[in-house]
């Protein structure tokens, strides 16, 4: 398997390493491709507070730094420029026109936030105590309503489009240890995941097999689960492996396990971002 990662966070958002350090370490690990995907800035008008999104004033520097790294590493490592853009209904999303004007190579679309019937949007992957509080205040303690809000938001993002890769598709499971909020075996949950898999297949979007939660010790499996990967395979949805690295040590974290999970699901290949001879971005498939 050829090593690549398009989901990489640096000092520009909540990563711990510089762009240059990440390039150096990726090359040392035998990577052919490294894509940077800082968390896109939250609109200042949103009223939301975050310490993990890139500050708006840092965006031009980020773009310039990645482009310079691309030039420096030409011939040794293919460096690509991307963003991970949150979908928050009524606030921001990958389909927003601003992202078309930045000259990005690709966009990762992500759902971290849900909108409850009461109160402000909140993240589903934060500290468990905070999520308990937010579910109680926003959804009256109804974990199934939380789960449905997540999958509905993901469906809205897919329908709106404007991006290439779906991030950590079942992120909602991160804090659901012991089925704290819902059962992934329930007919309701399976109905939502089946609908999403069909929507993904119709859209032509790529699904990342994300090892980030495993790398950081939050869960002991990839996003999405083996059951969802098997359904995606039945729907012929294309996939790629990303580490969602926030530190250079995690660039290739649990890639072997991700490959094994894909093989169990019936996949024989993963997608790779590349350039043709005219410098245009294109996707190709590599065998597992």
State residue 278's pLDDT score.
75
Give the model's pLDDT for residue 274.
87
CA-derived radius of gyration, the chain: 18
Distances (CA, A) of 115 to 87, 121, 139, 170: 11, 4, 10, 17
197 contacts 231 by C-beta, under 8 angstroms: yes
Please give the backbone phi and psi of residue 198, each rounded to the nearest 5 degrees, phi first: -65, -40
Strands 239-242 and 206-210: what pairing?
parallel
The pLDDT, as a whole number, for residue 239 is 99
Q: Look at residue 280 in the predicted model and tell me its pLDDT.
A: 82
From the list 104, 23, 41, 109, the residue with the least C-alpha distance to 5 is 23
CATH topology of domain 4-287: TIM Barrel (3.20.20)
Tens-digit pLDDT string for the chain (288 aa): 899 999 999 999 999 999 999 999 999 999 999 999 999 999 999 999 999 999 999 999 999 999 999 999 999 999 999 999 999 999 999 999 999 999 999 999 999 999 999 999 999 999 999 999 999 999 999 999 999 999 999 999 999 999 999 999 999 999 999 999 999 999 999 999 999 999 999 999 999 999 999 999 999 999 999 999 999 999 999 999 999 999 999 999 999 999 999 999 999 999 999 887 677 889 999 999
The domain limits of the chain are 4-287
Strands (E), 136-236: 165-166, 206-210
3-state secondary structure of 256: helix
Total residue length of the chain? 288
Closest by CA to 72, choosing from 6, 5, 102, 27, is: 27
């Amino acid at each position: 398997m050829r090593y690549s990662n398009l989901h990489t966070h640096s000092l520009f958002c909540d990563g711990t390493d510089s762009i240059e350090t990440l390039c150096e370490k990726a090359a040392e690990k035998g990577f052919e491709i490294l894509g940077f995907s800082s968390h896109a800035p939250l609109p200042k008008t949103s009223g939301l507070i975050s310490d993990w999104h890139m500050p708006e004033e840092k965006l031009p520097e980020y773009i310039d730094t990645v482009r310079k790294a691309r030039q420096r590493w030409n011939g040794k490592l293919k460096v690509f420029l991307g963003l991970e853009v949150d979908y928050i209904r009524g606030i921001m999303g990958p389909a927003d026109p601003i992202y078309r004007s930045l000259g990005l190579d690709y966009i990762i679309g992500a759902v971290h936030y849900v909108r409850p019937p009461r109160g402000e949007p909140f993240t589903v992957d934060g500290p468990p105590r905070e999520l308990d509080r937010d579910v109680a205040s926003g959804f009256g303690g109804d974990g199934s309503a939380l789960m449905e809000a997540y999958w509905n938001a993901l469906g809205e993002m897919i329908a709106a489009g404007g991006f290439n890769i779906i991030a950590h598709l079942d992120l909602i499971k991160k804090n659901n240890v012991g089925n704290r909020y819902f059962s992934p075996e329930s007919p309701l949950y399976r109905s939502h995941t089946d609908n999403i898999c069909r929507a993904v297949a119709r859209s032509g979007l790529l699904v990342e097999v994300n090892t980030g939660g495993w790398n950081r010790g939050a869960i002991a499996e990839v996003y999405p689960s083996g059951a969802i990967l098997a359904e995606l395979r039945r729907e012929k949805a294309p996939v790629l492996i990303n580490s969602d690295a926030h530190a250079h040590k995690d660039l290739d974290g649990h890639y072997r396990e991700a490959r094994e999970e894909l093989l169990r699901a019936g996949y024989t290949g993963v997608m790779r971002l590349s350039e043709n001879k005219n410098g245009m971005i294109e996707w190709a498939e590599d065998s597992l």
